Homo-oligomer: A and B are copies of this chain.
């Protein structure tokens, strides 16, 4: 009791507690980690674990519940003081050691190494205001050679979409036309993408992979700048108003073989139960009507901010579908893509056929 009162004066930022409330109320988030840790009890038993950015300590407690011998729960902010009380409340003060420190400033006694690193480091669209830097730093300094990362991979997806909340209904707001307001509202989203929970019905094409992060091997510099050019065919008639971005994290699964997909995932797609990350939407300045099969081509650039290293800048460029190379096979209805798909379906050697057809088509296009 005395401790609690003494500590409470340190919780200077009350907004912080609301942020942790939001995270603790994010059931898909909690349960993804809980499953990945508690259903891998055989792995965690007697292991030494580090929780990077432990917050209130919930992941460290899952590790202790799974039988970890020792958990270093590292947290730079004052929430560490509260994490200590939470650990005690759950009876794990002999297993979990909460350390208030930046992981970059941390040394462990005897330069001990850990078997596993768990961390919930993900920001909006995975990387924005996340703390992957600290997690990879901790990996390089503290993880044993054969150690495990929880999660161990993450994929960023992108798909074209409609954005009804910013585009539709503004011509009649309870009897008043507000189109010019909506136009400026959309313009304001250029510098700050919209974080919204997207209705899966509003997706206009299949998702494509923007980036794949391998937490066991990637270097930080691999993620300084991400850029893709892509074409996707609209999967229905609709209004193309933006690009929707989300991520999926995967955890090690010791019940499955190398070839199998891990069953332990945290999926923040519009088709999954909503998380506090929701989805990130880059809004087009003007909507475009598209028909089913019509190619949608864009370039997406994510660049780490020069001044604030935890922030990314997103840029989207509309491309001419005739001017860029299409994937093989491609979901769009341009002649060359339909031809490639039919060749591939005929079970000829797909690699050879595609390449030839594509080259022919390219020649035609240039004529």
List residues of A whose CB falls within 8 A of some B CB: 4, 8, 11, 14, 17-18, 20-21, 24, 27, 30-31, 34, 38, 56, 58, 61-62, 65, 82, 85-86, 88-90, 173-181, 183-185, 187-188, 191-192
Contact = CB atoms under 8 A, between A and B. Distances in A.
Contact of A8 (B8, B17, B21, B187): B187
A89 B180 contact: yes
A79 to B, nearest CB: 9
A183 B192 CA distance: 35
A115 to B, nearest CB: 22
Given A174-B27, A175-B34, A82 B180 contact: yes
A175 B34 CA distance: 8
A173 B29 CA distance: 12
B175 A62 contact: yes
A180 B86 contact: yes
Contacts of A24: 173, 178, 181
B85 A14 contact: no
Given A8-B184, A184-B11, A58 B21 contact: no
A21 B163 CA distance: 14
A30 B89 contact: no
30 contacts: A4-B180, A8-B187, A11-B184, A11-B188, A14-B188, A14-B192, A17-B181, A18-B188, A21-B185, A30-B173, A30-B174, A34-B174, A38-B175, A56-B178, A56-B181, A58-B174, A58-B178, A61-B176, A65-B175, A82-B180, A85-B180, A86-B176, A86-B177, A86-B180, A88-B180, A89-B177, A89-B178, A89-B180, A90-B176, A90-B177
Chain A contact residues, majority secondary structure: helix
How many copies of this chain? 2
Contact of A20 (B14, B38, B181): B181
Nearest to A4: B180
Contacts of A174: 27, 30-31, 34, 58
A148 to B, nearest CB: 21
Given A58-B173, A58-B178, 6 more contacts: A18-B185, A82-B180, A82-B184, A86-B178, A88-B180, A90-B177
Given A11-B188, A184-B17, A185-B17, A179 B62 contact: no
A355 to B, nearest CB: 46
A184 B4 CA distance: 9
B11 A176 contact: no
A185 B11 CA distance: 10
Contacts of A34: 174-175
Sorted nearest first, the 8 A-B pairs with minimum C-beta distance are A14-B188, A30-B174, A85-B180, A61-B176, A17-B185, A17-B188, A58-B176, A89-B180
